[in-house]
Each structure stands twice: as C-alpha cells, then as structure tokens.
Amino acid sequence: MKGPTLELNINSASDLENVNHITKMNVYAVITLSGDKKIQKAKTGVDRYGGSNPNWNHAVKFSVNERLAREGRLTLVVGLFSSRLLGNKDIGEVEVPLGYLLPSTNGNGNGNGHEMKFVTYQVRTPSEKMKGSLTFSYRFGGTPIISGPAYQQVPASWASPSQHGYGPHCYMPQPPPPPHNEEIRLQKAGLVVSALSLFRE
C-alpha cells in the first residue's frame, strides 16, 4: 500500500555559527529521511550571499512509511554545511522524529491540509551546543493519513518547534483531577458552616 508523501520546503536558517571564522560562509543543506530500508536524501543549492543567514526555499518530497513513522523509527535530519575549496565543513544539524510531524489526536502535526505549516528548530553544532535556527515548512499529501497517536519520545538533543521562536521542549504538568461528587458536597457544606459562623459573630 502506497504511503503518504512528505512535502518539505527548506526555507532558511539564521544566526548560524561561522565555521569559516574570517570569510563569509556559502551554506547548503542536506536533507535525509532515514530509518527505512531505503534512505532518501536531497540537497539544496548553495547560498553564496547570506553567510550565517542563508535562504534556499528548496522544495523536497519524500515517500513515508506511516507505520514506521508512528513507531518512532523514521527521522528527518537536515545537515548544514559550508561549501569550501579545501573541503566542506559541518556547521550543524536539525534532527526531528518524523512521527512528531504526523497528524494526531493530540493536535501535533499538520494533517492533510493544503496549507504548509512553518516550524523553526534550533541547530545543534558538532560540539553539541545549540547555535542558530532552521525554518522549514511541511505538509503530508497523497494517501490520506488516519489520525492516531503521535510518537512522543524526544531525544535530549532535540528542540521542539515553535512558530514564534525556538527553545527546549517543555512538558506542561497534568491538571489536577476534577473533584468527586462527595468532595463537592463536603466543600459546599464547609462553605455553609463558614457563612453561619460569620452571622453568629
């Protein structure tokens, strides 16, 4: 059975670490979808003008095995490199479990809508520090996807997306459970007693 198609547009990056130190960088990106038997890979053109703030607007399409994605076995990796005559140099990468992008019942993912969803991720450098950010847009097309549970295990080095910036992934604490009927009755009784004691005073 044919799976959905992941449509990506690798838009831009900003505030990247200048691995050339002196001259302006010529930056390109290598996009890889790994975890399946066949690794899918694509490459953007080289931005020779943006330096640490390159722009590409490069469109990419990958076929997706939805079962593997929901099991957390597919990973989208965008590696950033500086093109140099004496050998290209690694700037950093963004690594995203593909299951996080799939539509789910908890609201993550973009579903099969026509509009592209924009996300921004922090870039992890070869020295394991976060420096700069990468913005891309995505949607799932082709075979309709049935919403289901999303893959939730997040690697420690992975930062969550944000449409207004970026930062470490945070988990909100669960709200307290609603009180049972008996607790509500006792709370109301306590309020009545408190009110009566005020009148007596």
Report the alpha-carbon distance of residue 73 to residue 151 in Å, rounded.
9
Q: Identify the band that residue 154 occupies on the pLDDT scale cut at 50, 70 and 90.
A: very low
Q: What is the pLDDT of residues 9-58, one digit of tens each?
A: 999 999 999 999 888 899 999 999 999 888 999 999 999 999 999 999 99
The predicted pLDDT at position 175 comes to 42
Is pTM beyond 0.75? Reply is no
**Mean pLDDT for the chain?**
77
Domains in the chain with CATH codes: 5-141 (2.60.40.150)
Whether residue 140 contacts residue 112, with contact meaning beta carbons closer than 8 Å, is answered with yes
Q: Would you list the DSSP string of 77-106?
A: EEEEEE--TT--EEEEEEEEEGGGTS-BTT
Residue 11: enclosing H or E segment and its boundaries?
strand 4-14
For the segment 90-128, what is each residue's pLDDT rounded down to a tens digit? 999 999 999 999 886 444 444 555 789 999 999 999 999
Q: Are 75 and 97 in contact (CB under 8 A)?
A: yes
Cα distances from 56 to residues 51, 106, 155, in angstroms, run 12, 32, 27
Give the side-chain half-sphere CA count within 13 A for 131. Answer: 14
155: its two tokens? 């690697």
Instruction: Give the C-alpha separation, 139 to 113, whole Å.
Output: 7
pLDDT of residue 200: 52
